[in-house]
Structure 1
Amino acid sequence: MKKVRRLLGLLAVVAVLVGCQQSATDQAEPEKSETMIYLVRHGKTWFNTTGQVQGWSDSYLTEEGIELTEKLGESLQDIPFERAYSSDLGRQRNTAKIILAKNKGKVPEIVELDGFKETNFGSFEGKTNEDLWTPVLTKYGLTFDDQFGYITELNEKLAEAGVSITDALAEGDPLKVAETHDDLVKRGTAAIDQVLKESAAGGNVLIVSSGGMIPELLDIMAPGQYGGEKIENCSVTTIKVSDGQAEIVKIADISYQDDN
């Protein structure tokens, strides 16, 4: 009988030790968090309609822009956003507000970061797209058209020359105050670093930015995964961040616009 009691006692001690080891292992290797970023281009604006350069300049959302933003918000209404970001540009901030207003959950305050602003196009701000693009197109033997049909060939020529579009456009600025590629990377990286730091526990994050800045943000988060796809107004690009690695899930998705 004493031997049985001793055996039971030993088994109990072993069970406790095993439990402690498992607990220590659980603490040493916590479950990996996952952050899902919903990166949205702002709704269509007046300058988008008139073909004017809209970098750090701003113009209001059009009726169409508001309607599509509301529709996007409805498609995301069941996503519980832990955090939300834009810049201080009204078109970005208002797009974020409309999306969050449609959400069924408790929505976060919008944090404004300069890193999500559009490119500063210097003296071309407010001028026509033709004014902006003609200097670089002329240099590479191309002609402007308002459907941007030249963009693929221009990209190829710039790649051969080892020049980014941002730097090529900045070079054409007579005042030489337009942002360079390095300028965009610097402020974009600072903004993304802050978002990822504040989202370390995981969850869903809304970021509203602009068509020229979004490709830069994608290259910062997920180098080599962006293939030059067009970033439409009110499109949403989703990026999954897990264990410090980012993966683009969908790029410039507007499929929600086809929903009945």
Structure 2
Amino acid sequence: MKKILRLLFVALLGLSLTSGISAQAKEKAADKKDEITIYLVRHGKTFFNTTGQVQGFADSPLTDKGLEQAKQVGKGLKNTKFDLAYSSDLGRQRNTAKLILAQNKNKTPKISEHDGFKEWNYGGFEGKTNAEMWTPIFEANDLKFDEEWTDYDKLVNKLGDEGVADAIAESDSLKVAETYEEITTRGQAAMDKVVANAKKKKAKNVLIVSSGSMIPTLLEMLVPGEYQGEAIDKCSVTTLKYHDNKYSVDKINDTQYVE
């Protein structure tokens, strides 16, 4: 009798454990179902990138290399089914997004434009050389500016994203360059819209094409402390996960598709 009871107990215990594991598996599956993956891509190389000119709200066309970079990213992500796609009205961002989606094997969404994904507005520095804008800021922090951006991560680590933006705004003689508060206000509005649309349409994968300073700003807003001044290379892919009203970082500055 004791043996029968023991066997019955073991069987019930096994059933309970199996049920528990099954419930956990279902819970994990449900979590995965609600997860949104956001692909933040920097635009391809432009004419101003080539000439070393400041490029924020000002625009310049993609170079042949920039066009090829965008196509390469598109080929690398060709099997990813994008449910939503965003850029701003800047041609370099919009055209990069179009080229990425053109390589995709799935049905692709229409590109929505939002000012929140524009590059920082550099005001009176727009179109001037990078050295004209950056050298005084670097030197004020005992750093050296060069076209390789060797000390940029040190500048960001010292001033933070906010300090860098406000230093540019302060030194702009026209007083048109954006402050950090202005940049983050439009960036947050853009991301709120993306998430709202993604939830409404049950989107799983979202493509956002933005720029080299705006992407770090979005990271600092959404996942504070995760961005440590890493370079955001042209057509690099930075991946975020969104679940349960929280963002997490998957990858920053993934350049595997353009290397």
Which residue pairs with 2:128 in the alignment? 127
Deviation at 1:124, TM superposition (A): 0.3
Q: Which protein shows a greater Rg?
A: 1
> Aligned to 1:187, what secondary structure does the other structure show?
helix
Aligned residue pairs: how many?
228
Question: How far apart are the structure 2 equivalents of 1:189 and 1:230?
Answer: 22
Q: Any gaps of 5 or more consecutive residues in structure 2?
A: 1-25
The verdict on how the C-alpha distance between 1:157 and 1:104 changes in structure 2, with shifts beyond 3 A counting, is closer
**4+ runs deviating over 3 angstroms:** none
Which residue pairs with 1:22 in the alignment? none
Given that 2:157 and 2:229 are in contact with CA atoms closer than 8 Å, whether structure 1 keeps it comes out as: no
Matched, 1:67 2:68: yes
Summarize deviations over 1:104-139 as a string: whole Å, max 9, x none.
Answer: 111100000000000000000000000111232333
Which residue pairs with 2:193 in the alignment? 194
Partner amino acid for 2:179?
T
Deviation at 1:157, TM superposition (A): 4.0
Which residue pairs with 2:221 in the alignment? 220
Which residue pairs with 2:105 in the alignment? 104
Summarize deviations over 1:141-188 as a string: whole Å, max 9, x none.
Answer: 4443222223244334435xx961111111111111100110111000
The verdict on how the C-alpha distance between 1:38 and 1:163 changes in structure 2, with shifts beyond 3 A counting, is closer
Summarize deviations over 1:239-260 as a string: whole Å, max 9, x none.
Answer: 11111111110111011234xx
Which residue pairs with 1:256 in the alignment? 257
CA RMSD of aligned residues (A): 1.8
Question: How far apart are the structure 1 equivalents of 2:240 and 2:143?
Answer: 35
How is 1:1-260 mapped onto 2 (pairs within 5 angstroms)? 31-32=30-31, 33-158=34-159, 164-200=163-199, 201-258=202-259
> Aligned to 1:239, what secondary structure does the other structure show?
strand
Question: How far apart are the structure 2 equivalents of 1:156 and 1:208?
Answer: 25
Identity %: 53
TM-score scaled to structure 1, two decimals?
0.83
Given that 2:84 and 2:203 are in contact with CA atoms closer than 8 Å, whether structure 1 keeps it comes out as: no
Partner amino acid for 2:70?
T
Which residue pairs with 2:18 in the alignment? none
Question: How far apart are the structure 2 equivalents of 1:165 and 1:82?
Answer: 34
Partner amino acid for 1:212?
S
Q: Any gaps of 5 or more consecutive residues in structure 1?
A: 1-25
